[in-house]
Structure 1
Amino acid sequence: MVAHEEADVVVIGSGMGGLAAARAIAQFGGKRVLVLEQHYTLGGMTHEFSRAGRFQFGTGLHYISANAGPFLEFMTDGRVQLSPLPDDYDVLHFPDFDFAVPATKERFRSRLAEQFPDESENVDAFLRTTRRAMTGLAARNVFASFPAGVRKSGFPIVRRLFPSAYRTLREQVIRSVRDPRLQAVLAARWGLYGIPPASSAFGYHAAVPLTFFMEGTAHPVGGPKELGRIVLEILRTYGVEMRPRQRVNDVVVERGRVAGVDVEDTATGRRYHVRTDTVVSAAGVRNTYALIGKSQELADLPEEPSAVMLFLGMSRSPAEFGLRGENHWLMPDLDDHEGFHRPPGEGTLYVSFASLNNPAARYHTVEALELVDPRVVDQWRGIPEEDRPDSYHKLKNELTERLIARLEDRWPGFRSAIAFAELATPLSFETYQNSVMGSFYGLAATPQRLRSARAGCRTPVKGLFVAGQDAWGSGVVGALAGGLMAANAVLKPRQLGTMWRAIRAGAPPRDRNTGWQGYLRVAGIEALTPTVRRIRFEPLDGGAMPFSFAAGQYLKVELPVAVEPIERSYSICSGPGETDFVEIAVKHEPDGLGSGYLNDELESGHALRVSGPHGEFTWDPGAVAAETLLLMIAGGVGITPLMSVLVAAADAGHTGRIVLLASYRADDEVVFRPEIEALRSRLPGLEVSIVVTGRQGRIGVDMLRPYAGPATRVHLCGPAPMMQDLIGHLTELRVPREAIHTEAFVSGRSKETRREKAHAIAVAATAAGVTEFTIGLANGDPAFPCHPGQSVLDAANAAGVDLPQSCGEGACGTCRVRVLSGAYETDTRGMFSADELAAGWRLACQTLPTEDLVIAPS
Structure 2
Amino acid sequence: MTDIEEADVVVIGSGMGGLAAARAIAQFGDRRVLILEQHYTIGGMTHEFTRAGQYHFGTGLHYMSADAGPFLEFMTDGRAQLSPLPADYDVLHFPEFDFAVPATWERFRSRLVEHFPDETAAIDAFFRTTRRAMIGLAARNVLASFPAAVRNVGTPLVRTLFPAAYRSVSHQVSRSFRDPRLRAIFAARWGLYGTAPRSSAFGYHAAVPLTFFMNGTAHPVGGPAELGRIIVEILQRYGVQVRPRQRVIEVLVERGRVTGVDVEDTAGGRRYRVRSGTVVSAAGVRNTYALSRQNRRLEKLPAEMSALMLFIGLKRSPVEFGLGGENHWLMPDLDGDGTLYVSFPSLNNPAARHHTMEALELVAPDVVEQWRGTAANDRPESYQEFKQRLAERLLTRLEQQWPGLREEIGFTELATPLSFETYQNSVQGSFYGLAATPQRLRSSVAGCRTPVKGLFVAGQDAWGSGVVGALAGGLMAANAVLKPRQLGALWGAIRKGPPTRDPATPWQGYLRVTAIEELSPTVRRFRLASLDSGPLPFTFIAGQYLKLELPVAVEPIERSYSICTGPQQTAFLDIAVRREPDGLGSVFLHQEVKTGQALRVSGPHGEFTWNGGPGTETLLLISGGVGITPLMSVLTAAADAGHRGRIVLLASFRAENEVLFGPELAALRHRLPGLVVKFVVTEWYGRIDATELMPYVDGATRVHLCGPAPMMQDLIGALAALRVPRKGIHTEAFVSGSGGRTRRERAHAVALAAAASGVTTYTIDLAGGGTAFPCHPGQSVLDAANTAGVPLPQSCGEGSCGTCRVRVLSGDFETDSRGLLSAAEISAGWLLACQTLPTSNVTISPEAF
Distance 1:754 1:46 in 2: 24
Matches within 5 A, 1:492-511: 492-510=483-501
Residue 733 (structure 1) aligned with residue 722 (structure 2): yes
Bigger drift between 419-428 and 498-507 goes to 498-507
Shift of 1:709: 4.6
Indicate conservation of the 8 Å contact 2:705/2:731, yes or no: yes
- Cα displacement string for residues 195-234 of structure 1 (whole angstroms, at most 9, x for unaligned residues): 1111000000000000001111000000101111111111
Return 440-449 or 149-158, whichever deviates more: 149-158
Report the secondary structure of 2:377's partner residue.
helix
* SS of equivalent residue, structure 1 residue 385: coil
Which one of 383, 392, 400 corresponds to residue 392 of structure 1? 383
Matching residue of 2:534? 543
Using the alignment, how far apart are the partners of 2:293 and 2:738 within structure 1? 55
Amino acid aligned to 1:729: A
**1:648-691 deviations in whole A, cap 9, x for unaligned?**
11111111011111111110111111111111111111111111
- Counterpart of 2:697 (choices 708, 712, 735) is 708
**Preserved CA contact (<8 Å) 1:93 1:331:** yes
Q: Distance in 2 between matches of 1:260 and 1:432?
A: 24
Equivalent pair of 1:201/1:447 in contact (CA under 8 Å): yes
Residues of 2 paired with 1:69 and 1:630: CA distance? 50
Structure 1 match to 2:636: 647
CA distance in 1, matches of 2:474, 2:546: 36
Q: How does 1:173-192 map to 2 (within 5 A)?
A: 173-192=173-192
User: Are positions 1:691 and 2:663 aligned together?
Assistant: no
TM-score computed with the length of structure 2 as normaliser: 0.87
Give distance in 1, aligned partners of 2:741 and 2:395. Answer: 42
Superposed CA RMSD in Å reads: 1.5
Q: Which of residues 415, 423, 427 is equivalent to 2:414? A: 423
8 Å contact 1:710–1:736 — kept in the other structure?
no
CA contact under 8 A between 1:710 and 1:734: conserved in structure 2? Answer: no
Residue 459 of structure 1 is matched in structure 2 by 450
Deviation of 1:35 (Å) = 0.4
Q: Distance between the aligned counterparts of 1:153 and 1:603, measured in 2?
A: 60
Counterpart Cα distance in 2 of 1:607 and 1:584: 14
Aligned: 1:31 with 2:27 = no
Which of 657, 666, 673 aligns to 2:662? It is 673
How far does the alpha carbon of each residue in 1:760-792 deviate from its partner, in whole angstroms, 9 at most, with x for none? xxxxxxxxxxxxxxxxxxxxxxxxxxxxxxxxx
SS at match of 2:490: helix
1:846 matched residue in structure 2: none
How many residues were matched structurally?
746
Given the superposition, is the C-alpha separation of residues 115 and 392 from structure 1 closer, same or farther in structure 2, using an over 3 Å criterion? Answer: same
Does the 8 Å contact 1:592/1:748 carry over to 2?
no
Report how far residue 593 of structure 1 moved.
Answer: 1.0
1:753 and 1:190 map into 2 onto residues whose CA distance is 43
How far apart, in 1, do the equivalents of 2:741 and 2:10 lie?
Answer: 38
**Are the structure 2 counterparts of residues 549 and 68 from structure 1 closer, same or farther at C-alpha, using a change threshold of 3 Å?**
same
For the residues of structure 1 that align with 2:647 and 2:18, how far apart are their CA atoms? 58
Report the CA distance between 1:752 and its aligned residue.
2.7
Residue 383 of structure 1 corresponds to: 374
Question: 2:567 aligns to what?
Answer: 576
Q: Which amino acid aligns with 1:446?
A: T
Cα displacement string for residues 673-712 of structure 1 (whole angstroms, at most 9, x for unaligned residues): 1111111111111111111111101111111112225753
2:584–2:745: 8 Å Cα contact kept in structure 1?
A: no
Structure 1 counterpart of 2:60, which letter? G
How far off is 1:590 after superposition?
A: 1.0
Residues 1:202 and 1:243: Cα distance change in structure 2 (over 3 Å): same
Equivalent-residue separation in structure 2 for 1:609 and 1:197 (angstroms): 41
Instruction: Describe the shift of the 1:424–1:159 C-alpha distance in structure 2 as closer, same or farther (beyond 3 A).
Output: same
Partner of 1:746: 735
Residues 164-563 of structure 1 aligned to structure 2 (within 5 Å): 164-336=164-336, 339=337, 347-510=338-501, 514-563=505-554
Distance 1:19 1:750, change over 3 A: closer
Q: 1:854 maps to which residue?
A: none
Q: Which amino acid aligns with 2:144?
A: A
Unaligned runs of 5+ in 2: 747-849
Moved more, 672-681 or 120-129: 672-681
Aligned residues with identical type, % of pairs: 75
Shift of the alpha carbon at 1:755?
A: 12
Is the deviation greater in 502-511 or in 302-311?
A: 502-511
Aligned equivalents of 2:740, 2:683: Cα separation in 1: 30
Please list the CA deviations of residues 275-309 of structure 1 after superposition, one character each: whole Å capped at 9, or x if unmatched. Answer: 10000000000000001112111000000000000
> 64-73 or 512-521, which moves further after superposition?
512-521
Measured against aligned partners, the alpha-carbon deviations of 1:586-613 in whole angstroms (never above 9, x if no partner) come to 0001121110111122111111011100
- Tell me the residue number matched to 2:41: 41
Greater mean alpha carbon deviation, residues 370-379 or residues 505-514: 505-514
Whether the 8 Å contact between 2:545 and 2:563 is mirrored in structure 1 is yes
Q: How far apart are 1:430 and its partner, in Å?
A: 0.1
Q: What is the CA distance between 1:622 and its match in structure 2?
A: 2.7
Tell me the distance in 2 between the aligned counterparts of 1:515 and 1:318: 36
Q: Structure 1: which amino acid aligns with 2:567?
A: P
- Partners of 1:510 and 1:216 lie apart in 2 by 27
Range with bigger deviation, 44-53 or 105-114 = 105-114
Partner AA of 1:701 in structure 2: A
What is the Cα deviation at residue 383 of structure 1?
0.3
* Deviation for aligned residue 1:508: 3.3
What residue is the counterpart of 1:116 in the other structure? 116
User: Does the alignment pair 1:635 with 2:624?
Assistant: yes
SS at match of 1:386: coil
Following the alignment from structure 2 to structure 1, what is the Cα–Cα distance between the partners of residues 610 and 577? 22
Distance 1:485 1:52 in 2: 40
Alignment check: 8 A CA contact 1:28 1:495 kept: yes
Distance 2:557 2:735 in 1: 13
| Secondary structure in 2 matching 1:57 | strand
**What is the match of residue 101 of structure 1?**
101
Partner Cα distance (2:18, 2:308) in 1? 25
Q: Secondary structure at the match of 1:621?
A: coil
The separation in 1 between residues aligned to 2:216 and 2:666, in whole angstroms, is 49
282 and 576 in structure 1: CA distance in 2 versus 1, 3 angstrom threshold: same
- Give the Cα separation in 2 of the matches to 1:168 and 1:160: 16
Change (3 A) 1:756 1:20: same
